[in-house]
Structure 1
Amino acid sequence: MRNSRSHGGLVSYLSILIVATFSTQLLPQVFAIPSSCNLFQGSWVSDNSSTSNNNIPLVYDSSQCPFINPLFDCAKHGRPDRGYLRYRWQPSACNLPKFDGKVFLEKLRGKTLVIVGDSISFNQQESLTCLLHAAVGPDSKITTGAMGPYNSNYVTFQEYGEVTIAEFYTRFLAQITTEKIGRVLKLHLINDYGNVWKDADVLIFNIGWDFIQDGENNPIVRDMDRTLAFRKALTTWAKWVDSGVLNFAKTKVFYQGFYPDHYRPSEWGQPELKDCALETEPMSGSTYPAGPPPRLSIVEQVLSSIKSPVQFLNVTTLSQLRKDGHPGRYSDAGNGFVDCTHWCLAGIPDTWSSIIYAYLTR
């Protein structure tokens, strides 16, 4: 049974909830990632595993998951094809383990996993919570609520010592202040909620790039080059990670790649198309014709400068190959909007969740 509650005292709530250190002794090792295995290098293959009706591999039924944003529920909004659910990610040198929700919850018993980032983070959180909800069943004791900035929320699985999966929405990771001239993005300062993030047992970060204004002991820069702003914000985050504020004996930190969009069909050899709206199949092979997005190299450079243990979950290429995985016209966005940025649920974010599962349960 799903209950709902809200918390105004965000910091006090998390400080009470997060009490134990992350232990590798909670369960026997269930998956070992071989040193020769790169989970992020591979291809999408047809999935002939156990299926539901219509030969669709069953991860969860989106109509039965109470956490999915209408923007991502493609089946509910009339997407006629289901072929995008018939594929699984196959690494070249090993296998990606199947997500087991009960093992995941036991591994994180009594702990909090926090996802910090832009609107794609909602895709990730909702994938995780739908997978877990399917594992424990609709009668499990689950609480939900809103907290923190715009649309940030948490889902708590009470029967597993209050395992909480939370999402903190931020487009920048950096601090935004309201001044006389308007809202100003201060790329040299970490987001105000950094003091809350630091208490989590698992932190998964990503960052957007919609940067408008910047102040760094300098005059305000309007319409700043977004690539430069992206680098500055990510560097500020990296310095925060290395500042000693995090207890790495307790907290595992991940940075989750650079999420691609599919608004430029010329990138995959179909310049006659306008966007992703007509796509129904993934790309074959293991490389994207247009190559990695330029900002991915910035992510790699900044992450390589971090001295603290941060695991890079480079889901960029595997996501680039899924031009068929977006809502397109099949969401509640309205006005004929074609969404080639976010992802259908169920869908590709469930593979991201399986990768997180592999790292947390190995």
Structure 2
Amino acid sequence: MGVIHEQSQASHFFSKKFVPCYLYTFIPLALLHYYVFPLSCTTNTPEQLQSAITTASLVPSTQDKEAKLNRQVRCDYSEGQWVQTTSKPLYNGTSCGIIKGAQNCMVHGRPDTGFLYWKWQPKDSRCIVPVFDALAFLRIIKNKHLAFVGDSMARNQLESLICLLSTASQPDLVYQDSEAKKFRRWVFHDYNATVSAFWSPFLVKGSENVKAKEIYHNILYLDTVNKQWASELDKFDILVFSNGHWFLHKAMYYEEGNHLLGCNSMEQFNCTNFSFFNAFSKVIHTALEEVTSRFYGSDKAVVVATFTSGHFEGDWDKFGACPKTAPYKEREIEMPYLEKEMRKLGIEEVEMARKKVKEMGGRLTVEALDVTKLALLRPDGHPGPYMFPNPFANGIKERVQNDCVHWCMPGPIDTWNAILLEIMKKWKQD
């Protein structure tokens, strides 16, 4: 009986002293466990439970997983196909007020909307192009200056970007040169982020549409950068070059002062023929040489957008010049020689500049925004006759001005900026 009595006293003592402590300690943990893992019936030690709770708090979202995968792999976004999507555009022609009128297709009365519902699917299954994340882009350019330099294709992409970013933060237009809107600057005050546009269709010193002997032509100095953007280069953190179409025009090419190298399509001047392909390559080289020589040791970035094609079917001013309402399938069209060569030259110059930076032990990021094939497969994405408001209000006319080169907004060009964001995420990580 004495032994039993002692055991009873010990049991009472244990219950009185330790059970409440046990309950106060472990019941909250148990409740937390079943809150985090409501379907789990396994028993865990406190250490295992704490580990499980920590792990659960770090489970990434689907978009985080996609972004992580893209960063782990050096993604090739240039090959792939357009697939249909139900996702709506992030902006429209009325919600964003800066769209150039000629690219505001829906406001101008384009009746079909199917061209808005396609997304780019890279061939490499490890890579995806997420829906554009305006907040992520703004965080990357916080306290930085992003500049687009080039022709009207650069302006087209710039305006797309401003519209996309406007869904998260309102920009303030702090500078505009004139009604031509060739030089503009916005500030996103919430992020102290600046985005600028610099009109420079050749990237180098030059004159547009000079008239001589009744011939309009361009004059280019292939070894001298355009000072309008180069003089402000120190202010830029990210630079996007985008040009190409102006090189298809008649031109005279100079180098080393006033030494005439040759001409493009100007036989009347008895001038040595000089391929516009060579001129384009030299121009990209000159622009990248300027940037790499000044910033090879910096953490800045320069991106070269590759050449994008037009989709004229016959004369530019005939009805139905670009009539397609859906993308081409991957094998439905071959890349023409012009697009193939211009793309190749741009990428070669990017590779050479990247190699030079690496050899110099620099940190400057040099990348290509390779969108040539993406653009080739989208004959449906151009304004066509809807570069003007309601072009068929008075009936269909046989002759009507068409734009089968630039891109409707919203439209395919928004994907250029989604890929640019993925490039910038990689740059930020590195």
TM-score range, shorter chain: 0.7 to 0.9
* CA contact 1:276–1:326 (8 Å) conserved in 2: no
* CA contact 1:276–1:324 (8 Å) conserved in 2: no
- Which letter does structure 1 place at the counterpart of 2:423? Y
Give, in angstroms, the shift of residue 186 of structure 1.
0.8
Matched, 1:191 2:247: no
Matched, 1:134 2:167: yes
> Which residue number corresponds to residue 269 of structure 1?
none
* CA contact 1:128–1:350 (8 Å) conserved in 2: yes
SS at match of 2:102: coil
SS at match of 2:278: helix
> Which residue number corresponds to residue 154 of structure 1?
185
How has the CA–CA distance of structure 1 residues 245 and 141 changed in structure 2, closer, same or farther, with 3 Å as cutoff?
closer
> Which residue number corresponds to residue 89 of structure 1?
120
Give, in angstroms, the shift of residue 39 of structure 1.
2.0
> Which residue number corresponds to residue 170 of structure 1?
200
5 Å-filtered alignment, 1:280-359, equals 280-285=325-330, 288-291=333-336, 292-306=339-353, 307-308=356-357, 309-332=365-388, 336-359=400-423
Counterpart of 1:121 (choices 141, 154, 158) is: 154
Give, in angstroms, the shift of residue 209 of structure 1.
4.3
- Which letter does structure 1 place at the counterpart of 2:233? W
- After superposition, give the CA deviation of every residue in 1:284-309 in whole Å (9 maximum; x if it has no partner): 22674235532222222222221234
How has the CA–CA distance of structure 1 residues 330 and 131 changed in structure 2, closer, same or farther, with 3 Å as cutoff?
same
**Matched residues in 2 for 1:186 and 1:130: separation?**
35
**Matched residues in 1 for 2:84 and 2:369: separation?**
23
SS at match of 1:215: strand
Give, in angstroms, the shift of residue 343 of structure 1.
0.4
**5+ residue gaps in structure 2?**
1-63, 267-273, 358-364, 392-398
Task: Work out which structure has the larger RCO, using CA pairs closer than 8 Å and 6 or more positions apart in sequence.
Answer: 1
Counterpart of 2:324 (choices 271, 274, 279) is: 279
TM-score calculated relative to the size of structure 1: 0.79
How has the CA–CA distance of structure 1 residues 246 and 30 changed in structure 2, closer, same or farther, with 3 Å as cutoff?
farther
How has the CA–CA distance of structure 1 residues 209 and 84 changed in structure 2, closer, same or farther, with 3 Å as cutoff?
closer
Matched, 1:47 2:79: no
**Matched residues in 2 for 1:274 and 1:289: separation?**
25
* CA contact 1:143–1:157 (8 Å) conserved in 2: no
> Which residue number corresponds to residue 252 of structure 2?
213
Decide which structure has the larger Cα Rg and report it.
2
**5+ residue gaps in structure 1?**
1-27, 50-56, 266-272
- After superposition, give the CA deviation of every residue in 1:235-278 in whole Å (9 maximum; x if it has no partner): 22232233x2125523111111111111257xxxxxxx986531
**Matched residues in 1 for 2:236 and 2:174: separation?**
17
How has the CA–CA distance of structure 1 residues 248 and 153 changed in structure 2, closer, same or farther, with 3 Å as cutoff?
farther
- Which letter does structure 1 place at the counterpart of 2:329? S
**Matched residues in 2 for 1:141 and 1:255: separation?**
25
* CA contact 2:85–2:119 (8 Å) conserved in 1: yes
**Matched residues in 2 for 1:213 and 1:71: separation?**
30
**Matched residues in 2 for 1:185 and 1:171: separation?**
10
Identical positions, percent: 28
How has the CA–CA distance of structure 1 residues 97 and 209 changed in structure 2, closer, same or farther, with 3 Å as cutoff?
same
* CA contact 1:275–1:340 (8 Å) conserved in 2: no
- Which letter does structure 2 place at the counterpart of 1:90? Q
- After superposition, give the CA deviation of every residue in 1:5-52 in whole Å (9 maximum; x if it has no partner): xxxxxxxxxxxxxxxxxxxxxxx9982324263222211001024xxx
How has the CA–CA distance of structure 1 residues 226 and 345 changed in structure 2, closer, same or farther, with 3 Å as cutoff?
same
- Which letter does structure 1 place at the counterpart of 2:306? G
SS at match of 1:241: helix
- After superposition, give the CA deviation of every residue in 1:128-179 in whole Å (9 maximum; x if it has no partner): 100111223xxx4623421599611112111112x11111111101112699
- After superposition, give the CA deviation of every residue in 1:61-91 in whole Å (9 maximum; x if it has no partner): 2211011000110011111101000111111
How has the CA–CA distance of structure 1 residues 274 and 143 changed in structure 2, closer, same or farther, with 3 Å as cutoff?
closer
5 Å-filtered alignment, 1:257-268, equals 257-264=306-313
**Matched residues in 1 for 2:348 and 2:89: separation?**
38
**Matched residues in 2 for 1:213 and 1:123: separation?**
27
Aligned CA-pair RMSD? 2.9
**Matched residues in 1 for 2:419 and 2:101: separation?**
25
Counterpart of 1:201 (choices 237, 260, 266) is: 237
How has the CA–CA distance of structure 1 residues 246 and 77 changed in structure 2, closer, same or farther, with 3 Å as cutoff?
same
- Which letter does structure 2 place at the counterpart of 1:328? G
How has the CA–CA distance of structure 1 residues 231 and 143 changed in structure 2, closer, same or farther, with 3 Å as cutoff?
closer
> Which residue number corresponds to residue 287 of structure 2?
237
- Which letter does structure 2 place at the counterpart of 1:80? P
**Matched residues in 2 for 1:128 and 1:59: separation?**
11
SS at match of 2:386: coil
**Matched residues in 2 for 1:115 and 1:295: separation?**
19
**Matched residues in 1 for 2:204 and 2:175: separation?**
24
TM-score calculated relative to the size of structure 2: 0.67
What is the number of equivalent residue pairs in this alignment?
316
How has the CA–CA distance of structure 1 residues 201 and 238 changed in structure 2, closer, same or farther, with 3 Å as cutoff?
closer
* CA contact 1:209–1:226 (8 Å) conserved in 2: no
**Matched residues in 2 for 1:304 and 1:111: separation?**
25
